[in-house]
Amino acid sequence: MKITLTLLAVILGLQAGFAQNLKSVSYKDGEQKLLGMVTSNAGKKLPGVLILPAWKGIDNEAKNAALELEKQGYIAFLADIYGEGNLPAGNENAARLANTYKKDFALYQKRIALALEELKKSGAISDKIAVIGYCFGGTGALEAARGNLPVVGVVSIHGGLAKDSERPNNPISTKILVEHPANDTSVRPEHYQSLVKEMNDGKADWQIITYANTTHTFTNPEAPDYNEVMAKRAWNHTLMFLKEILK
C-alpha cells in the first residue's frame, strides 16, 4: 500500500506540473476538432519543436518531453493526430487507429502540417523548427521528412520504420536522427534496411543510433521495458541533435 500511495503521489505531482506549464490549444482539420498543447513560453520568438505522441495520443512521456524542451529554450507543441472524441481505448484499438494513419500517410502528413502551423502561431521561428516523435509518432517524424514538411530535422524515437514498398524513394532535405532499440521486434530487419536505402537514395543527412539491451518503448518510464540508462542517452542525443540544427 505504501508503494501504491507513493506512486499515486508522484503521478498526481506530474499531472499538477503539466497543468501549470502546458496550455491547451484548440484547432481544426475541417470539421474535426483537434486539441493540442503548448509550453508556457508560447508567444516568444524561439526555436520550436513539434512532438508527435505514441499511438494512444498525448501521454505523460510526450508532456514531460515538452516541459524539458521548454527548459532548453524551445517552444514545444504537442500534436493531436486523432482528434477530439477519437482517442483509442486499449492497445488493440490504438494499433488499429495508428495503422489507419500509416496507410493513409497523406492524412497523417496533413495533421502534422496543421500542428506545425499552430507551433508557428505560438511564436516558433519558422526556419528553426524540428519534429520529434515516439512510437507511432516516430513514424510520423519520418513522414514529416518524407513529405518535405517545412522543418529542419526530425527525430524518430523507437518509431516504426516501414514504408509501403510501392511508394517511391524521393529526395529528402530534412536532417534525420533515428533512435532505435536493438531488440525491437516490431521492426523487421527488412524495414531497417529499406529505410537506410530510402535515406541514401534521397541523399539525406541521416544517422541511426541503436541502443543495446532495449526493446520497443525503452524511453517511457511507465512502460515495462523502460531502460533508464539508455533512455537518458537517447534524450541526450536528441538534445545534441536539436542544438546542432536549431541554435
Residue for cell digits 530510402? Answer: 198
Q: Mean of the per-residue pLDDT values for the chain? A: 93
What band does 11 get if pLDDT is binned at 50, 70 and 90? very low
pLDDT above 50: residue 12 = no
Please give the Cα distance from 54 to 179 (Å, whole number): 15
pLDDT at 79 over 50: yes
- What is the model's pLDDT at position 4? 43
Q: At what angle do helices 136-146 and 91-103 cross, to 10 degrees?
A: 10
- 77 pairs with which residues across the strands? 38, 50
H/E stretch holding 15 reads helix 2-21
Helical residues (DSSP H) of 54-188, grouped into ranges: 60-71, 91-103, 105-121, 136-146
**pLDDT of 14 above 60:** no
Distance CA 78, CA 18 (A): 12
70 contacts 41 by C-beta, under 8 angstroms: yes
What does residue 111 show for φ and ψ, rounded to 5 degrees? -65, -35
Question: Per-residue confidence at 42, pLDDT binned at 50, 70, 90?
Answer: very high
> Residue 2's pLDDT band (boundaries 50, 70, 90)?
very low
CA distance 205 to 59: 30
Report pLDDT digits (tens) over 137-194: 999 999 999 999 999 999 999 999 999 999 999 999 999 999 999 999 999 999 999 9
Query: Mind listing the pLDDT tens digit for each residue in 101-115?
Result: 999 999 999 999 999
For the whole model, what pTM was predicted?
0.92
The band of 222, judged by pLDDT with boundaries at 50, 70 and 90, is very high
Summarize pLDDT for 124-141 with one digit per residue, the tens: 999 999 999 999 999 999
